[in-house]
A and B are shown apart, each in its own frame.
Chain A
């Protein structure tokens, strides 16, 4: 462990989302205010109260895996993770095909709210149809929660520790936060972190359908409306995001292109209710992150909110931001990327962190879509209409999840500092 905390920078990013599977496509779509939510095709939309969601183009998954030089595993959630990991490693110039001859001692810390759900669905289906002998012999390694990080480690020959963090919608933000701490404190020089989830199998999606938190608006382009008065619940999506992070010293020594810096991370538990959020818990996570980063409320130039578009979340998050930032909250532009993709669950934090870094690089951020009439209960500086021009290169990324999990990252656009 290092006695002096090290600066932690981002040198690689990869994502696969309902809006596209490369940075430029996703960013341009957001700038043009395109929404990636469509009528569902992976499940029968007529069976569900919410017939719309953010699906990834199924052709993009094998295409990205081919580009990464790896064979698909056959579970959509794991293959999404592999696709994003391959893109992140390639953009960082690390691993197979980038001059490495042996395993790279890099940890793989991935988040997922649901895990290898498609393999589990097929396993349950076979078991209930055919009994014990109907179950595929490899059901255990296919379905185990750590299949995601293990397959990434194996396919890309990354020999640091690998594990999956499961904390609902905070999973990948926590994976990034834990990885950040590993590198900052000297337990690793670099890490591959991110998250993945694919909710669209008939069983898991039915669970969400019956939970009562989803929008019933059948119009895909207007269904997801974070912070809007007419919001009526979240819209789900699928995808994955991966980041290569490393110590500034390592990145500089190998001449890597630095994309941004992680300044701090904070986390907490509400310790109160399994699904209802708590202002008190969220405030602790936000203040913990700001303290970890050494930033004050006035330093923050943008908040990429959790913003799920449920009535409970958006109002609670607004109160939390106001309580944590004080008067500064009224002037910090705030938006939720979920209005573009839907809620990517365990992938949400990673994809939204990548979007935030893309914005920090460009000095601007996408606004909220569908924010026609801000909810008076969400008394924030909510970005509407056009892209937000940033006044500060520091951004906050919030993620809050079922289980009372709260995770917050403080990010900074890259500029050489002394």
Chain B
């Protein structure tokens, strides 16, 4: 699965969880998570949806250091066992 594939799936999940008015098609790897309208509650739903979608399990606290969508993608790749050549990210 390419990073672009993950990005497309993340956009869909984020749109579902966020409830904020965001131009989701304009979200890129450089977009910050903080700009996407999540609060302490809706971020939990996003974590849940990511776990269901990608078949991974991790505690929500593991995302504390993740600031951008690109870092989230790298984190997910590490969870899925594909970290080679990726930017350093928190481990699952």
Point out residues on A near B: beta carbons under 8 Å.
71, 73-74, 133, 136-138, 141
Contacts and interface: CB of A to CB of B under 8 A. Distances in A.
A138 B42 contact: yes
Interface SS, B side: helix
A96 to B, nearest CB: 13
A137 B48 contact: yes
Contacts of A71: 19-21
A396 to B, nearest CB: 41
B41 A141 contact: yes
Given A133-B57, A136-B45, A137-B44, 7 more contacts: A71-B21, A74-B16, A137-B45, A137-B47, A137-B48, A138-B41, A138-B44
18 contacts: A71-B19, A71-B20, A71-B21, A73-B19, A74-B16, A133-B57, A136-B45, A136-B48, A137-B41, A137-B44, A137-B45, A137-B47, A137-B48, A138-B41, A138-B42, A138-B44, A138-B45, A141-B41
B59 to A, nearest CB: 11
Contacts of A73: 19
Nearest to A74: B16
Contacts of B19: 71, 73
Interface of B: 16, 19-21, 41-42, 44-45, 47-48, 57
Contacts of B57: 133
Contacts of B20: 71
A71 B14 CA distance: 13
B21 to A, nearest CB: 7
A81 to B, nearest CB: 16
Contacts of A133: 57
A90 B20 CA distance: 22
Nearest to A69: B21
A205 to B, nearest CB: 25
Contacts of B44: 137-138
Nearest to A130: B52
A147 to B, nearest CB: 13
A71 B45 CA distance: 16
5 closest residue pairs by CB, A with B: A137-B44, A71-B19, A138-B45, A136-B48, A137-B48
Nearest to B47: A137
B14 to A, nearest CB: 13
A229 B44 CA distance: 55
A74 B21 CA distance: 15
A71 B47 CA distance: 20
For B16, B19, B21, B57, which residue has the most chain A Cβ atoms within 10 angstroms?
A: B19
Nearest to A71: B19
Nearest to B16: A74
Contacts of B16: 74
Contacts of B45: 136-138
A340 to B, nearest CB: 34
A141 to B, nearest CB: 7
A278 to B, nearest CB: 45
Contacts of B47: 137
A394 B20 CA distance: 45
Nearest to B21: A71
Contacts of A136: 45, 48
B53 to A, nearest CB: 13
For A73, A133, A136, A141, which residue has the most chain B Cβ atoms within 10 angstroms?
A: A136
Nearest to A141: B41
A133 B58 CA distance: 11
B47 to A, nearest CB: 7
A188 B20 CA distance: 31
A74 B45 CA distance: 12
Contacts of A74: 16
Contacts of A141: 41
A288 to B, nearest CB: 42
A137 B41 CA distance: 8
A92 B20 CA distance: 26
A73 B42 CA distance: 11
Nearest to B49: A136
